[in-house]
Structure 1
Amino acid sequence: MDVHLNCWNETDELKCVVVCGPSEIEVPDQQTADDVQWEKPVSQNKARENHHIMVSAMEQEGVKVIDYSDYLSTKDKMLHLQLINRVFVRDLGCVFGNELLPGEAGTSMRRPEYVMSHILFNKWFDSSSFPIEANNSANALEYGDVLILNKDAVFINTGLRTSMESIQKMKEQIFKAGFSEIGVIDLPRRGDTMHLDMNGNVVGKNLFLAKSYMRFFPVQVINDRREHYEMMEQFLNRHGFEVIWSPDVKPDVRDTVANINFLNLNPETLLISSKVNKKIFSHHPELKKKKLIEVDVAELEKGGGGIRCMTLPFERRS
């Protein structure tokens, strides 16, 4: 794969991203949706239309989009097409600097995606770029819980799908990749707080948009010398970020996904859901300058994830 792994933050110009098209299996009724922990029933035909719209919007902005399922073997595809959560690729891995680190599924339902994608990534990249065995001692580490703030710091949530034990076991890999500090927050374990990027997101080079309740949570700061605690705003301020506290929204997955789970295409442009409450982007003069590209991903969002969840950046250029 002719890709130069390079991600040192969330806002540099996105040049290459990995996605995966939706499953072929319908989620036909509300009882089934509840059983698989989705918000609502989903028509996969509509979901595929949504996905095509999202991919096209990124390609029109000059982003190279790779659907990794296109590269799976015929045998693997037979199973992979039936995995309803496969569209949420963000959790599978994360590029820290120039190194792609593998994740570890926090629920058994998603483990096949991790295995198949990691075997594929292992074919694309050498062991120095993708150390496939780095997650061997991890028990739960989904990268929707990770935000790369800058070349110094990474922000991680330990909660419903990511364990503190896994973070401790992966921290040396993150430091080795070039980062010097990890801030760990422990958010409530609910469906609407499943991952960090459902509650906060980098929205500019020095801006962080967060749900207002997060101001009450301390952050465990880890570096190669010691560990200590700071409040969330103090931690982010120290790394050059101003925190914008978003208006309170209902503890509902739909609201969480639409309002927080967006993707930075470059420092000036956000790819957002058409269901977003645009008032969120009117609370700061810098946000008012943003170019907002809206896409209809409503059918995909019923699965409990948004645009950021469905995109895995491989390359960003400053």
Structure 2
Amino acid sequence: MSSNHSIYIYSEIGKLKSVLLHCPGKEVENIVPDYLRRLLFDEIVYLEQARREHNQFADILRNEGIEVVYLTDLMADILEDTKVREEFLMEFMYEGKIITEGLQEAIIEFFNTYSPKEFAIKCIEGVRKEELNHIKPKSLGDMVKTPYPFYLDPIPNMYFQRDPFASIGKGISLNVMANETRNRETIFAKYIFKYHPKFKNVPRWYNRDKTHSIEGGDILVLSDKVLAIGISDRTDPVAIERIAHSLLNSEQCFETVLAFDIPKARAYMHLDTVFTMVDYDQFTIYPGIEDPLDVYSITRGKNNDINIKYESNSLSSILKQYLNLPSVNLIRCGDGDRIAASREQWNDGSNTLAISPGKVICYNRNYVTNKALRRNNIEVLEFDSYELSRGRGGPRCMSMPLIREDL
């Protein structure tokens, strides 16, 4: 692998070299009970403890020799440029439904006082009504009083960096989020891949201007030939077909996209909450998805077309066939105990982040699953998970690998 690639991901388990994170900030303190559901949270997060846990996570990565890149630092780099800053803020306001002139002027003025890094942090944090006290009303929308406490909504899901874009090969899928509340997250990635000197020529297999949703938690790069994508609560089959089309007809070495049709439920939000790869031939899986699981394979057809086929075999046989493995070991979340499986899956027991073959990072609270992993010779690095887990996402959800070594 040449070192000049900013994105290089051809597996789920190759030695991780560089990863993108966002440490939760005041945006999670802007979650109030009245608007929990709107912001896709089930409960309130205690920020100070969440940050401690996130820092433990980042320290584990650094101790393993992995470069940790923060989203707000990349944003700060590009927001030095006032033109980029203006363009970003206009798009950000438009997507945040700030379209009245008086309010736009007040927000622009408000943001003008911030340094590039603070600017990025404040966009994520949200703008409360009491922060803007001098709006010159220029339209009915500026004058009408509403009880809603924010002009710009906070983006509390931002610490799940897996979803807004996904690294695939040497390119990315710049995603369309299933919920309006998360769509602004992808603007940050859009600007980083448009303006950051390190990332600006990266090809895109999908773009955020498309109509159908796909989120990074549903995308698993199983090998340099095979991509798995979940058809889930958050990812539409049309989007999968489009990504398959652009990826299989590109210069890349991928040959097959496997579409996993998982149950559409909040508990199984993304494919990676029920299935992840931990070693060459070992996977964690939530037993609740095995029975109803339909798998479709998408391959290159004639004349830039694609072929789609229903795979009638068991999941193990499909993985053996496409990954060319003599055997496959599925390690069950909860270690075969139905109650433990259900409890630990709720706290992302199957959501592991592999940092090299057979070495994964997990939440410490999923001790039954972690014990099962260790029994199967997987090295498990753990960190505290009292607060981060309240956002319904684990170590894989919180990280976007940028570079992995070839296997």
In structure 1, the residue matched to 2:64 is: 61
C-alpha displacement of 1:102: 1.2
Q: Unpaired runs of 5+ in structure 1?
A: none
In the alignment, the residues of structure 2 paired with residue 170 and residue 275 of structure 1 have an alpha-carbon distance, to the nearest angstrom, of: 35
In structure 2, the residue matched to 1:83 is: 155
1:12 alignment partner, one of 7, 14, 21: 14
In structure 2, the residue matched to 1:152 is: 225
Q: What's the secondary structure of 1:162's corresponding residue?
A: coil
Which residue identity does 2:299 align to in structure 1?
Answer: N
Q: What's the secondary structure of 2:25's corresponding residue?
A: coil
C-alpha displacement of 1:290: 2.2
Residues 175-209 of structure 1: CA deviation (Å, up to 9, x unaligned): 22321101112211111111001101101111122
1:114 alignment partner, one of 186, 189, 195: 186
Q: What's the secondary structure of 1:95's corresponding residue?
A: strand
C-alpha displacement of 1:227: 1.5
Which has the greater radius of gyration? 2
Q: What's the secondary structure of 1:91's corresponding residue?
A: coil
Which residue identity does 2:367 align to in structure 1?
Answer: N
Which residue identity does 1:228 align to in structure 2?
Answer: K
Q: Given the superposition, is the C-alpha separation of residues 86 and 250 from structure 1 closer, same or farther in structure 2, using an over 3 Å criterion? A: same
C-alpha displacement of 1:302: 0.2
Q: Given the superposition, is the C-alpha separation of residues 65 and 3 from structure 1 closer, same or farther in structure 2, using an over 3 Å criterion? A: farther
In structure 2, the residue matched to 1:234 is: 317
Answer yes or no: is the 8 Å Cα contact 1:244–1:283 preserved in 2: no
Q: Given the superposition, is the C-alpha separation of residues 249 and 141 from structure 1 closer, same or farther in structure 2, using an over 3 Å criterion? A: farther
1:304 matches 2:395: no
Structural RMSD (CA):
2.5
In structure 2, the residue matched to 1:255 is: 345
1:166 matches 2:239: yes
Answer yes or no: is the 8 Å Cα contact 2:373–2:379 preserved in 1: no
2:297 alignment partner, one of 205, 221, 242: 221
In the alignment, the residues of structure 2 paired with residue 45 and residue 2 of structure 1 have an alpha-carbon distance, to the nearest angstrom, of: 37
Q: What's the secondary structure of 1:298's corresponding residue?
A: coil
In structure 1, the residue matched to 2:330 is: 244
1:45 matches 2:48: yes
Which residue identity does 2:310 align to in structure 1?
Answer: Y
In structure 1, the residue matched to 2:254 is: 179
Residues 142-181 of structure 1: CA deviation (Å, up to 9, x unaligned): 0100111111111111121110111112212322232110
Answer yes or no: is the 8 Å Cα contact 1:237–1:243 preserved in 2: no
Q: Given the superposition, is the C-alpha separation of residues 245 and 54 from structure 1 closer, same or farther in structure 2, using an over 3 Å criterion? A: closer
In the alignment, the residues of structure 2 paired with residue 310 and residue 254 of structure 1 have an alpha-carbon distance, to the nearest angstrom, of: 17
Report how many aligned residue pairs link the two structures: 316
TM-score (norm 2): 0.71
In the alignment, the residues of structure 2 paired with residue 70 and residue 105 of structure 1 have an alpha-carbon distance, to the nearest angstrom, of: 23
C-alpha displacement of 1:71: 2.9
Answer yes or no: is the 8 Å Cα contact 1:272–1:292 preserved in 2: yes
Q: Given the superposition, is the C-alpha separation of residues 283 and 15 from structure 1 closer, same or farther in structure 2, using an over 3 Å criterion? A: closer
In the alignment, the residues of structure 2 paired with residue 18 and residue 279 of structure 1 have an alpha-carbon distance, to the nearest angstrom, of: 26
In the alignment, the residues of structure 1 paired with residue 4 and residue 49 of structure 2 have an alpha-carbon distance, to the nearest angstrom, of: 32
Q: What's the secondary structure of 2:159's corresponding residue?
A: coil
Residues 230-271 of structure 1: CA deviation (Å, up to 9, x unaligned): 143332121236141512356857634341111111113211
In the alignment, the residues of structure 2 paired with residue 69 and residue 292 of structure 1 have an alpha-carbon distance, to the nearest angstrom, of: 29
C-alpha displacement of 1:214: 2.7
Q: Given the superposition, is the C-alpha separation of residues 126 and 88 from structure 1 closer, same or farther in structure 2, using an over 3 Å criterion? A: closer
Q: Unpaired runs of 5+ in structure 2?
A: 80-115, 126-153, 302-306
Q: What's the secondary structure of 2:158's corresponding residue?
A: coil
C-alpha displacement of 1:31: 5.8
Give me the identity figure in percent. 19
In the alignment, the residues of structure 1 paired with residue 6 and residue 167 of structure 2 have an alpha-carbon distance, to the nearest angstrom, of: 11
Which residue identity does 1:206 align to in structure 2?
Answer: D
In structure 1, the residue matched to 2:96 is: none
In structure 1, the residue matched to 2:87 is: none
Residues 32-78 of structure 1: CA deviation (Å, up to 9, x unaligned): 54553323221111111111111111001100000011232334432
In the alignment, the residues of structure 1 paired with residue 183 and residue 60 of structure 2 have an alpha-carbon distance, to the nearest angstrom, of: 29
C-alpha displacement of 1:106: 1.2
Answer yes or no: is the 8 Å Cα contact 1:95–1:313 preserved in 2: yes
Answer yes or no: is the 8 Å Cα contact 1:220–1:229 preserved in 2: yes
Moved more, 177-186 or 28-37: 28-37
